[in-house]
Amino acid sequence: MNIQKLIIEAIKEAVQKNIDAKIFPQAQIPDIVLEVPPQKDYGDFATNFAMQSARVFHMAPRKIAEELIKQIESEYLVKAEIAGPGFINFYLKAEVVHNQLKDVIDKGLSYGNLPAKEHARIQVEYVSANPTGPLHVGHGRGAAFGSALVNLLRAAGYDVQSEYYINDAGNQVDNLAASVNARYLELLGKDTEFPENGYHGHDIIDTAQRIIDKENDKYLSMDNDERLAIFKELALKEKLAALKEDLAAFNVHFDKWFSERTLHPAAVEDACAVLMKNGAMYEKDGAKWLKSTEYGDDKDRVVIRDNGVPTYLAADIAYHKNKYERGFDKLINIWGADHHGYICRVKASMKALGFDADKLDVLLLQMVSLYRNGELVKMSKRTGQSVTLSELIEEVGSDAARYFFIMRSLDSQLDFDLDLAKSESSENPVYYVQYAHARICSIFRQAKEAGITVDENTDYSLLTDEAEQALMKKILSYTDEINSAARDYAPHRIANYAHDLAADFHSFYNKCRIIGVDMPLAQARLGLAAAAKNTINHALNILGVNSPEKM
RNA sequence: GCGCCAAUAGCUCAGUUGGAUAGAGCAACGGCCUUCUAAGCCGUGUGUCGCAGGUUCGACUCCUGCUUGGCGCACCA
């Protein structure tokens, strides 16, 4: 049981005593929340309980706080004080803080991994870009955010499965095949027309060229349809391999790659049958429609076209049905903001199938704009002129790219400054954090030489300097940060936390020497540095960013 | 027309179920390396939190209306 919970228990007991003594009336007691106050003068923890309960108790907040303080008993507290409009500030005994620090050091790199939570099986589906071309920077944001979210949720004690949905059926892969086919014929000097919805990217030409390099004009004499079928499989295989390679280079790994093809036709037919049976689907003009308007959608949506071919929605309904049937407690989808109109119909279809639509959370990521030399880098999907993820990684590195994508909240549009991301200087926040880690590693190398070690007898009560105190507090607040960031699906708060922690370390470093001071103090400071190092390392692991030992 | 997101310091952005004096980085200026990495530290200042109402003991945060910018409104994915 952590210290916050113990204090909350002490507050609860004090409330009960006041109720028993008829000082507080019997009432529905609000949740007791402890927060870290904005200033160190306000103690280690504070609660706004007196203000929250003012209404139900029909008492003035400060009066409630006063009575509460009289009854609070805790072996961990030096004192509790009323402040401002009715806050109660708690001041921990120094010894309690030092014991916590000792625990952190003992835990090593596992500090930050919270105990497993109940009913916590979460599935996170992200990226899921069509396997028809290279990933671009927008996918990069989804990939960085998604993988960081998965790491964060795991640290917070959830059982997470990550998944990539491969759109390997339908029009877009036919267009892929047709595009490769056209390039193939073109390269062999044949007259051909490029398909209207074809993919113009250079990677398509590369694919065609590779086919020629390998097997020359072997497919030329073939019937067009037959050749298209072969090219479809060839291109798909190649594109998928490229996707996996790009993602691996970006430190993004999936537990499961789910093929859309496995849903056709049985799972789609089955889902439609259930919708039909539940009266959520009807036939009109030869097509099958989902009655999504009954669930707040603007209009009903076609699921099976009049020619009998299922729409994208059909596969998505079957896919989400499949996810629900796998028994997760929570399903998270990460989509581009341009798909927001889609949420309603997917949720509608899940309700119509009898599932709890609230289990599904769709997170939308806003657009990314690249800036180079202060100017917007223009992108165009139509002509295939866009910066790919692998080009971005090539230019700024995986660490900087990941950090920049993650450090902003998902629902803000992101201005990505390429020059800043690749500058190897203090301007660059990712280096700032990594530098703190490298510095500590350097200290450890030298502390080893100097024979300074941390052990059971290290006396942390010697850490009384302001900089030491601030660093200690920041480290000890990490688990709360993990919990609240996980609760809010907000890995960017871990990026901000890591930056703040690095700042506290750098201040400490400049003020408090480790090597060259009295041995007991040197040991205590080295212990604190160890805790800082592990915490930075853990936070950077969540972000998927490396923790270098030297820079 | 409808829907989603955003609007906070000169710039890019944080601000955790509504709480104490709204914070970082960049940019500007001044200090700190014969001692653990100067990719660092210390100091100086800046805000009608887009506008107008409302709810509340208390609003950057919640509600309503508006303004501006982005995205989307297919039998495409």
Using C1' positions and the CA of A425, the closest nucleotide is B39
The position carrying tokens 């039909």 is: A276
Asked if pLDDT for residue A381 goes beyond 80, the answer is no
Higher pLDDT, A419 or A539: A539
| Residue A389 backbone zone (phi > 0: left; psi -120 to 50: alpha; other: beta) | alpha
| Residue A34 backbone zone (phi > 0: left; psi -120 to 50: alpha; other: beta) | beta
Whether A113 maps to a domain, the answer reads: no
Secondary structure (3-state) at A141: helix
Task: Please report, for the domain that includes residue A506, its CATH number.
Answer: 1.10.730.10
Using C1' positions and the CA of A470, the closest nucleotide is B41
**Alpha carbon of A267 to those of A300, A379, A497: distances in Å?**
21, 38, 44
Using C1' positions and the CA of A411, the closest nucleotide is B5
Using C1' positions and the CA of A429, the closest nucleotide is B25
Whether A505 maps to a domain, the answer reads: yes
Residue A425 pLDDT level (bands cut at 50, 70, 90)? low
Rounded distance in angstroms from the CA atom of residue A37 to the C1' atom of nucleotide B19 = 11
Q: Sheet of A414-417: strands edge to edge?
A: A375-376, A368-372, A414-417
Range of A21's domain?
Answer: 3-92
Going by C-alpha positions, the residue among A321, A273, A296 that lies closest to residue A288 is: A273
Is there a single domain that holds both residue A335 and residue A351? yes
Task: Please report, for the domain that includes residue A333, its CATH number.
Answer: 3.40.50.620
Q: What is the 3-state secondary structure (H, E, C) of A217-281?
A: CCCCCCCHHHHHHHHHHHHHHHHHHHHHHHHHHCCCCCCEEEEHHHHCCHHHHHHHHHHHHCCCE
Rounded distance in angstroms from the CA atom of residue A230 to the C1' atom of nucleotide B3 = 42
Is there a single domain that holds both residue A324 and residue A433? no
Whether A106 maps to a domain, the answer reads: no
Whether A243 maps to a domain, the answer reads: yes
Residue A385: DSSP 8-state: B
Asked if pLDDT for residue A1 goes beyond 70, the answer is no
The position carrying tokens 């507050």 is: A11
Going by C-alpha positions, the residue among A111, A79, A30 that lies closest to residue A542 is: A111
Share of chain A above pLDDT 70, in %: 98
Is there a single domain that holds both residue A338 and residue A479? no
| Residue A114 backbone zone (phi > 0: left; psi -120 to 50: alpha; other: beta) | beta
Lowest-confidence pick of A26-30, A152-156, A321-325, A521-525:
A26-30
Neighbours of A160 (CB within 10 A): 21
Q: Which of A358, A388, A422 is the last residue of a domain?
A: A422
Using C1' positions and the CA of A42, the closest nucleotide is B20
Is there a single domain that holds both residue A178 and residue A44? no
Going by C-alpha positions, the residue among A280, A278, A236 that lies closest to residue A259 is: A236
Rounded distance in angstroms from the CA atom of residue A180 to the C1' atom of nucleotide B1 = 42
Using C1' positions and the CA of A504, the closest nucleotide is B41
- Report the pLDDT averaged over residues A332-345: 94
Rounded distance in angstroms from the CA atom of residue A546 to the C1' atom of nucleotide B1 = 49
Whether A99 maps to a domain, the answer reads: no
Is there a single domain that holds both residue A339 and residue A442? no
**How many domains is chain A partitioned into structurally?**
3
What is the sign, positive or negative, of the torsion defined by CA atoms of A437, A442, A444, A445?
positive
The position carrying tokens 């280690």 is: A44
Residue A30 pLDDT level (bands cut at 50, 70, 90)? confident
Residue A72 pLDDT level (bands cut at 50, 70, 90)? very high
- Which residue minimizes Cα–C1' distance to B38? A426
Protein-covered nucleotides of chain B (CB closer than 7 Å) are: 2-7, 12-17, 19-21, 23-27, 35-42, 57-58, 69-77
Asked if pLDDT for residue A382 goes beyond 90, the answer is no
Whether A345 maps to a domain, the answer reads: yes
The strand pair at A159-166 and A121-125 is best described as parallel
Query: What do you get for the CA distance between the two ends of chain A, in Å?
Result: 39
Using C1' positions and the CA of A301, the closest nucleotide is B75
Asked if pLDDT for residue A384 goes beyond 60, the answer is no
Rounded distance in angstroms from the CA atom of residue A297 to the C1' atom of nucleotide B74 = 15
Q: What is the pLDDT of residue A422?
A: 82
Rounded distance in angstroms from the CA atom of residue A296 to the C1' atom of nucleotide B64 = 22
Rounded distance in angstroms from the CA atom of residue A503 to the C1' atom of nucleotide B45 = 21
Lowest-confidence pick of A51-65, A102-116, A130-144, A197-211:
A51-65
Rounded distance in angstroms from the CA atom of residue A466 to the C1' atom of nucleotide B3 = 51
- Which residue minimizes Cα–C1' distance to B15? A493
Output the DSSP codes for A435-456. HHHHHHHHHHHHHHHHT----T
Asked if pLDDT for residue A440 goes beyond 60, the answer is yes
Share of chain A above pLDDT 90, in %: 80
Q: What is the pLDDT of residue A4?
A: 86
Q: What is the pLDDT of residue A5?
A: 87
Cis peptide bond upstream of A520, omega within 30: no
Angle at A265 between CA A260 and CA A271, to 5 degrees: 90
Rounded distance in angstroms from the CA atom of residue A406 to the C1' atom of nucleotide B13 = 12
Is there a single domain that holds both residue A256 and residue A357? yes
The strand pair at A159-166 and A256-259 is best described as parallel
- Which residue minimizes Cα–C1' distance to B73? A341
Secondary structure (3-state) at A44: coil
Whether A549 maps to a domain, the answer reads: no
Lowest-confidence pick of A168-182, A187-201, A368-382:
A368-382
Query: A408 is written with which tokens?
Result: 């902003």
Residue A299: DSSP 8-state: S
Rounded distance in angstroms from the CA atom of residue A427 to the C1' atom of nucleotide B69 = 28
Question: What is the spatial distance between Cα A402 and Cα A392, in angstroms, rounded to a whole number?
Answer: 10
Using C1' positions and the CA of A507, the closest nucleotide is B41
Is there a single domain that holds both residue A416 and residue A469? no
Range of A19-23, A51-55, A287-291 with top mean pLDDT: A287-291
Secondary structure (3-state) at A107: helix
Is there a single domain that holds both residue A413 and residue A515? no
- Which residue minimizes Cα–C1' distance to B26? A427
Is there a single domain that holds both residue A498 and residue A471? yes
Is there a single domain that holds both residue A461 and residue A397? no
Task: Please report, for the domain that includes residue A48, its CATH number.
Answer: 3.30.1360.70
Rounded distance in angstroms from the CA atom of residue A137 to the C1' atom of nucleotide B52 = 39
Amino acid letter, A216: N
Question: What is the spatial distance between Cα A19 and Cα A405, in angstroms, rounded to a whole number?
Answer: 51
Using C1' positions and the CA of A167, the closest nucleotide is B77
- Which residue minimizes Cα–C1' distance to B32? A510
Is there a single domain that holds both residue A177 and residue A305? yes
Q: Which of A391, A422, A453 is the last residue of a domain?
A: A422
Element (H, E) at A138: helix A137-155
Rounded distance in angstroms from the CA atom of residue A375 to the C1' atom of nucleotide B34 = 46
What is the sign, positive or negative, of the torsion defined by CA atoms of A122, A127, A130, A134?
negative
Rounded distance in angstroms from the CA atom of residue A494 to the C1' atom of nucleotide B8 = 21
**Beta carbons within 8 Å of A250's beta carbon, 6+ residues apart:** A140, A143, A144, A389, A393, A398, A401, A402, A544
Counts for chain A of helices (H) and strands (E), in that order: 20, 15
**Digit-coded pLDDT (tens) for A285-325:** 999 999 999 988 889 999 999 999 999 999 999 999 999 99
Using C1' positions and the CA of A417, the closest nucleotide is B12
Q: Which of A76, A92, A108 is the last residue of a domain?
A: A92
Q: What is the pLDDT of residue A385?
A: 61
Query: A133 is written with which tokens?
Result: 């071309």
- Whether A51 and A85 have beta carbons less than 8 Å apart is answered as yes
Asked if pLDDT for residue A383 goes beyond 80, the answer is no
The strand pair at A330-336 and A301-304 is best described as unpaired
Whether A440 maps to a domain, the answer reads: yes
Going by C-alpha positions, the residue among A326, A294, A289 that lies closest to residue A125 is: A326
Is there a single domain that holds both residue A281 and residue A174? yes
Question: What is the spatial distance between Cα A253 and Cα A45, in angstroms, rounded to a whole number?
Answer: 39
- Whether A502 and A547 have beta carbons less than 8 Å apart is answered as no
- Which residue minimizes Cα–C1' distance to B23? A38
